[in-house]
Structure 1
Amino acid sequence: MVMIRIRSRDGLERVTTEDPNITISNLKSIIESQLRVPVTNQTLSTNQSLLLAKTLDDLSRFTDMSDPNASISRLGIGHGSIIYLAYEGQRSVAGPNFNPSGSFGRKMTVEDLIAKQMRVSRQENPHCELVSFDRDAANAFQQYVSDALAFGVKRGGVMYGTVSEEGKVEVDFIYEPPQQGTEENLILLRDPDEEKLVEAIAMGLGMRSVGFIFTQTVSQDKKDYTMSNSEILQAAELHAQSELKEWVTAIVKLEVNEDGAADVHFEAFQISDVCVKLFKEEWFETEIPEDADPKLSRMKKDVVVGVKDTKEVDNDFFLVVVKISDHQGPLSSSFPIENRNIPVTMRALKNHLDRNRGQSFARRISDFHLLLLLARFLDLNADVPALAECVQSQSSVPEGYQILIESLASSS
């Protein structure tokens, strides 16, 4: 029995024959019978570049198996050989049943085997039509990283806003959780109690978490990758937790412009569907050696990239570019931001309220970071969403809330 492996766009399959000296014509007939690809649609070659051919002209260049009367043995094709198959049209991948485990284990088909292969390819289009950043929120984030951190250590935040039916994401505020940043890594120190307050505020504002934003350091700018393997892991984890298909990952970094000056640059991506699937199914190696190439993500077992079985995948395969826009959202971002080097005090609350005294009370407190400070003194399930709803609708704030807020401010 001679077994020949057939690699096509559908993965790796097998055909068998009793005769090791069959012709190319015989082989095509066997492929039609066993793999259900019509002879007239088949192009065969021992050259794996066949699978990259896009047009008929491209296919016509592969002539090593074009003679129907040539013997496969004369071409060096025998038991265990791999040949490559290109074909037009669609088919249902099927094959003979066999039991690889003898007396135990169920019978498996070629469909079962291919289902176990994970194919990694570029995702052409994002689920997110575009992402628009509130100018004040984006500026407050990048200004701190630029002025206080000088892009020397990494910083991150969770973006909140809305998603339209057309898939447009609008980011209206950025929550910065407790964290530790170095030149290469960002550790988010998740605080469940604080995150409950954030979610309650977002709910009252009619918003939800829509993405992850982080900075790359000046030292990273000299390296040959869009996102490092550790950044891919972190972004995929947050995307997977969100269960939002339009979830956006944004990068903020410093780039040198044509005049030699440094500009702050925003980029936006979606982590591809297959990357999120790989993360959820625990294909990624999560322990990254110090000498690992940062532009490659390592898998626990082989995946198929193009025509190659590999455990290392270029991170760019996992990124889908998202268009960027900006807007003026409903909130301000002038109040001191949580979890930074300088603690937020009640003095900041008093100064903020005094500075905006000519406005309605709802407008004076229309800042997520201010609401987060207030939420620590309010009932999570009743007061926090109710106060946020006043901000969202710009309606009159109940007198009891006003008295409490003014009292907190006066306690500084």
Structure 2
Amino acid sequence: MMLRIRSRDGLERVTVDNPHTTTVSELRRLIEHQLGIPTHNQTLSTNQNLLLSKSPEDLLRFTDMTNPNAPLSALNLGHGSIVFLAYDGERRVPGPAVFSPAGSFGRKMTMDDLIAKQMRVSRQENPHCELVSFDRDCANAFQHYVNDSLAFAVKRGGFMYGTVSEEGKVEVNFIYEPPQQGTEESLLFFRDPEEEKLVGAIAAGLGMRSVGFIFTQTVSQAKKDYTLSNREVLQAAEYHAESGLKEWVTAVVKLEVNEETGGADVHFEAFQMSDVCIRLFKEEWFDTDIKEDQDPKLSIMKKEVVVGVKDIKEVDNDFFLVVVKIFDHQGPLSTTFPIENRNTQVPMRALKNHLERTKNLPFVKRIADFHLLLVLARFLDLNADVPALTECIQTETTVPEGYQILIDSMASAA
């Protein structure tokens, strides 16, 4: 029987006799014999998140293969199953023969061959951002919609806006959801330049900017053994490259089974796409023509890259992910106004309802909601009115009476 062993070096294979008689302890000895990794230096798990661990403490969380006497069949491992392996230190991975620049039998290497030999893909240990902190209200508004209205059956996404500190701390204070169409496996944004111009003006007036991309994975994806699919890697890399922000964050929202209650909990994960991933995307190394039968946990390159000492075209997506710590905070904006580009259009009477519901608050607090400001911005001067209103919100000062009258009249006319 053949088991696939996935480590930071890529995918390798180990041959075992019988899953019913072979134990975890015997598998460790086979890995030592066949792959050259000492048994005491091995951490094994059937959970792919093992490969994202950053410290010895993280490794202790993976306990499913710590019983040395457990037979492999008890872990549902059979022919072709994947076991994830983490280890410390360096080792020499058997690879193809090394040729002189002229190649064997006189084959000459082209300039593309030479460049490909120099393109190395390895794990990036540290992100450029120290952490990402989500405003609780905007995070809840996003996850409640995909959970309650979409039941995580189709994908949903948005762009995160907030601030980046000098230390690299990213704070997300609102999420803009562009027009889009989601399926079980893919997410398509219908980018609206005019609407995004309004979003950018509101963010700038609030002292914020775009800081990341957020999307959901569906319940059908949760059954598959990848962190991000190849389609998701391409989309995340595209938006990261477009942003020009080294601290740009990619956030994933998904349902995870709660083993204690038997139910499912909404779970947030945050990553940065590695520097080499962004470089590969900008230089068009990725094969973007993804076939239906293609393994979603592997990204296909147009030319071979070097992973470890192997020249390969199929790269495990986990090589491109750098884990980012997640925190939360209470930001300066509310998220009680209806959110744009969902199943129904936001009617102007929503403005009237919102203002009536918040009439006991100071006017500046009543309009301190990005989604409300986006509705107002469609009818106001982008160069004068929007900056004036957002400055009041940012500095928490009184909104001039003229603007209050104007906004009240817009609500009354609905």
Q: Is the contact made by 1:177 and 1:189 (CA closer than 8 Å) also made in structure 2?
A: yes
User: In the alignment, does 2:98 pair up with 1:82?
Assistant: yes
CA offsets 1:369-390 (integer angstroms, 9 cap, x no match): 0000000001122211221111
For 1:409, which of 403, 408, 411 is the aligned residue? 411
Separation (CA, whole Å) in 2 of partners of 1:396 and 1:383 = 15
Give, as a single letter, the amino acid of the residue that structure 1 aligns with 2:155: K
Q: How does 1:320-339 map to 2 (within 5 A)?
A: 320-339=322-341
User: In the alignment, does 2:281 pair up with 1:279?
Assistant: yes
Displacement after TM superposition at 1:393 (Å): 0.9
Q: Secondary structure at the match of 2:214?
A: strand
Between the aligned residues of both structures, percent identity stands at: 75
Separation (CA, whole Å) in 2 of partners of 1:406 and 1:81 = 75
Tell me the equivalent position of 2:70: none
Displacement after TM superposition at 1:81 (Å): 5.3
In structure 2, stretches of 5+ residues that fail to align are 1-33, 38-86
Q: Residues 203 and 81 of structure 1: is their aligned pair in 2 closer, same or farther, counting only changes over 3 Å?
A: closer
Q: Residues 81 and 299 of structure 1: is their aligned pair in 2 closer, same or farther, counting only changes over 3 Å?
A: closer
Tell me the equivalent position of 1:394: 396
Displacement after TM superposition at 1:224 (Å): 0.6
Displacement after TM superposition at 1:361 (Å): 1.0
Q: Residues 402 and 313 of structure 1: is their aligned pair in 2 closer, same or farther, counting only changes over 3 Å?
A: same
Separation (CA, whole Å) in 2 of partners of 1:81 and 1:265 = 45
Q: Secondary structure at the match of 1:82?
A: coil
Displacement after TM superposition at 1:284 (Å): 0.5
User: In the alignment, does 2:267 pair up with 1:265?
Assistant: yes
Q: Residues 398 and 101 of structure 1: is their aligned pair in 2 closer, same or farther, counting only changes over 3 Å?
A: farther
User: In the alignment, does 2:221 pair up with 1:205?
Assistant: no
In structure 1, stretches of 5+ residues that fail to align are 1-46, 63-79, 84-94
Aligned residues: 323
For 1:357, which of 342, 356, 359 is the aligned residue? 359
Give, as a single letter, the amino acid of the residue that structure 1 aligns with 2:211: V
Q: Is the contact made by 2:116 and 2:303 (CA closer than 8 Å) also made in structure 1?
A: no
CA offsets 1:2-44 (integer angstroms, 9 cap, x no match): xxxxxxxxxxxxxxxxxxxxxxxxxxxxxxxxxxxxxxxxxxx
Q: Residues 119 and 397 of structure 1: is their aligned pair in 2 closer, same or farther, counting only changes over 3 Å?
A: same
Q: Secondary structure at the match of 2:246?
A: coil
Displacement after TM superposition at 1:49 (Å): 7.0
Displacement after TM superposition at 1:235 (Å): 0.2
Separation (CA, whole Å) in 1 of partners of 2:36 and 2:165 = 42
Q: Secondary structure at the match of 2:344?
A: coil
CA offsets 1:144-190 (integer angstroms, 9 cap, x no match): 00010000000000000001111110000000000000011000100
CA offsets 1:50-81 (integer angstroms, 9 cap, x no match): 9x9947xx79xx9xxxxxxxxxxxxxxxxx95
Q: Secondary structure at the match of 2:212?
A: strand
Separation (CA, whole Å) in 2 of partners of 1:408 and 1:342 = 20
Separation (CA, whole Å) in 1 of partners of 2:317 and 2:350 = 43
Displacement after TM superposition at 1:401 (Å): 1.4
What's the Cα RMSD here? 2.6
Q: Secondary structure at the match of 2:372?
A: helix
Displacement after TM superposition at 1:82 (Å): 3.4
Q: How does 1:246-265 map to 2 (within 5 A)?
A: 246-258=247-259, 259-265=261-267
Tell me the equivalent position of 2:166: 165
> Which structure is larger by alpha-carbon Rg, 1 or 2?
1
**Higher mean C-alpha displacement, 216-225 vs 388-397:** 388-397
Separation (CA, whole Å) in 1 of partners of 2:288 and 2:402 = 50
Q: Is the contact made by 1:251 and 1:266 (CA closer than 8 Å) also made in structure 2?
A: yes
Tell me the equivalent position of 2:176: 175
TM-score w.r.t. structure 2 length? 0.74
Tell me the equivalent position of 1:70: none
Q: Residues 158 and 81 of structure 1: is their aligned pair in 2 closer, same or farther, counting only changes over 3 Å?
A: closer
Separation (CA, whole Å) in 2 of partners of 1:262 and 1:115 = 44
Displacement after TM superposition at 1:101 (Å): 12
CA offsets 1:238-265 (integer angstroms, 9 cap, x no match): 0000000000000000111012111000
